[in-house]
Every structure is written in C-alpha cells, then in structure tokens.
Amino acid sequence: MPKKVIIFISLLLLFVAQPAQLQDDPAAEPLLTVMQIMTAIITPMTATIWGAYELQTDAEWLEIENAALTVIAAGNLLTSGGASDAEQAAASEADWQTYNNQMIAAARAVITAVGQKDEEALFAAGNDALYPPCESCHQQYQQQ
C-alpha cells in the first residue's frame, strides 16, 4: 500500500475513534452562570410563589405550580453549577448539593400544596422550606 494511503487511513481511524470530540455538543455544558439562573429564573419564580395570596381561580393556582416547576428546573441546572469552572467546582461540593436539593424539595412541597389548594400549606412550604436553603447557600457560596 502506498505510504500516503496508509497515512490517510490512519487519520481516518483516528477521527472515527474520537466521535465525542468531533461532535462536541455545547448544550451538554452548563450555559448559564449561577447569577443568570438566580436573576432570570429563581428570582421571578420565587416572587410569584411568595406573592401568592387569596388564590381563587384554577389559573391562579396553576401559575404557582408552574413557578414551582420552574424552580425545580433551575435546581436541575444548579446541580452542575454554572458556566464557569469555579461554579462547577462549587457544585461538586456536598453542601452545595444539599442546599440545592432542599430548594427542590421545597418546590415539590409547593406543588403538593397547590394540588390540595391549601394556602396554609403553601405559605408553610414557601416560608419554612423554600427560603432557608437560599440563605444557607448564599452564606457559604456568595462572594461578598
């Protein structure tokens, strides 16, 4: 076999053997910073949940449920931290995951309260369960 053909085949095999690098999928990496997740998702959604008062129509309850689902989606993103290496390093710590899981569990409690249309349970989930993990995580991880 001519040398050029061998080199060509070798190169071909090299590329075939590394499909992951060739088809690098940017969407598989965290795309948002923690700050963007906080200000664009967490802040407006928790404002909706904490602002709930004398809910009457199904649409009003549904809005709370959707806000809680969106907090869970944000928690899902925060599992891998944010776009920077430092944020991913923070997310590799057990405490980070604990606070994030507490926030997700609180959002689930909100959804349960919505399912029962129980405003007292909704307040309890919002104040006693949803708020504390925000504080804990900020105390430990937010740069002053």
Residues at the contact surface with ligand HEC, assessed by CB under 6 A: 34-35, 38-39, 42-43, 46, 78, 96, 99-100, 103, 130, 133-134, 137-138, 141-143
Alpha carbon of residue 85 to chain centroid: 16
Shortest spacing between CB 4 and ligand HEC, in angstroms:
53
Segment holding 111, helix H or strand E: helix 94-115
Shortest spacing between CB 36 and ligand HEC, in angstroms:
9
By beta-carbon proximity to ligand HEC, the closer residue of 39 and 112 is: 39
Angstrom distance (rounded) from CA 59 to CA 56: 8
Decide: helix, strand or coil at residue 141.
Answer: helix
Is the Cβ–Cβ distance between 112 and 120 less than 8 Å? no
Shortest spacing between CB 139 and ligand HEC, in angstroms:
10
By beta-carbon proximity to ligand HEC, the closer residue of 34 and 64 is: 34
Shortest spacing between CB 38 and ligand HEC, in angstroms:
4
By beta-carbon proximity to ligand HEC, the closer residue of 105 and 134 is: 134
Angstrom distance (rounded) from CA 81 to CA 75: 9
C-beta atoms surrounding 70 within 10 Å: 18
By beta-carbon proximity to ligand HEC, the closer residue of 62 and 86 is: 86
